[in-house]
């Protein structure tokens, strides 16, 4: 993966995610974690969030050890005190943890990789980071349902649907535990209501996922040899 200009990365994210919007986004993630994602994470787990952003997942998930990986140093200031921060490229994940992760998590990250070769390298790194039986939880925009909007972000390079990503995961030896092709809406910036109570109701009613969901949720696991 090519070197990253972290000054440009920081500026891009400051422009995209305004400081005033972060509490609203964190409140949404608090519900997503408590009402859905937590069932895939045990309190005793070691969890790694690659491209952690501003910590919305790690700050709201319960785990024994939480590691945040990002190239943007600005991320560190938004992380809770129990989160370990590592400035590291995703393709060097094994330099942070090797064979010790129960869960690796990414949200809206894989589409930022420059090409499929880099995706394959990253998936190999996830395999190395995980314990046998460990899980890789993936959230991401589904190109199948966002053929135009998908490319509205300047740093989206790699087009992925749930099916193409499943093929890549299986080629790298992962077992697929769960695939929801339509899970969350594409963005928290739209006109859809995002009050935590409405988010909680949405998560309990998969019927609405089929209507509004534009992001896939995939849970894959490293085989137990």
Domain boundaries, the chain: 6-221
Strands 101-107 and 83-87: unpaired
Asked whether the beta carbons of 158 and 114 are under 8 A apart, the reply is: yes
Q: Give the up-direction half-sphere exposure of residue 221: CA atoms within 13 A in the CB hemisphere.
A: 11
Q: What pLDDT is stored for residue 3 in this prediction?
A: 38
Specify the length of the chain in residues: 225
Q: How far apart are CA 52 and CA 172, in angstroms?
A: 23
71-121 pLDDT per residue, tens? 999 999 999 999 999 999 999 999 999 999 999 999 999 999 999 999 999
Q: How far apart are CA 203 and CA 88, in angstroms?
A: 33
Counting as low any pLDDT under 70, the low residues of the chain are: 1-20, 188-193
CATH classification code of 6-221: 3.40.50.150
143-158 pLDDT per residue, tens? 999 988 888 888 899 9
């Amino acid at each position: 993966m090519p070197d990253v200009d972290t000054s440009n990365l920081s500026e891009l994210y400051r422009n995209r995610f305004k400081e005033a919007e972060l509490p609203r986004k964190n409140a949404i993630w608090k519900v997503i974690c408590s009402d859905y994602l937590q069932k895939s994470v045990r309190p005793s787990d070691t969890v790694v969030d690659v491209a952690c952003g501003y910590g919305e997942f790690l700050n709201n998930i319960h785990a024994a050890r939480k590691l945040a990986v990002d190239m943007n140093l600005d991320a560190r200031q938004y992380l809770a005190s129990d989160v370990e921060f590592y400035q590291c490229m995703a393709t060097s994940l094994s330099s942070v943890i090797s064979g010790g992760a129960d869960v690796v998590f990414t949200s809206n990250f894989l589409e930022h990789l420059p090409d499929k070769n880099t995706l394959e390298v990253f998936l190999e790194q996830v395999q190395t980071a995980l314990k046998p039986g460990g899980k890789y939880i993936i959230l991401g925009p589904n190109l199948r349902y966002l053929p135009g909007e998908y490319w509205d972000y300047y740093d989206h390079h790699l087009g992925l649907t749930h099916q193409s990503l499943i093929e890549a995961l299986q080629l790298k030896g992962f077992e697929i535990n769960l695939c929801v092709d339509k899970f969350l809406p594409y963005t928290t910036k739209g006109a859809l209501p995002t009050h935590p109570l409405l988010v909680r109701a949405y998560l309990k009613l998969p019927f609405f996922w089929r209507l509004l969901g534009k992001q896939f949720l995939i849970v894959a696991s490293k085989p137990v040899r």
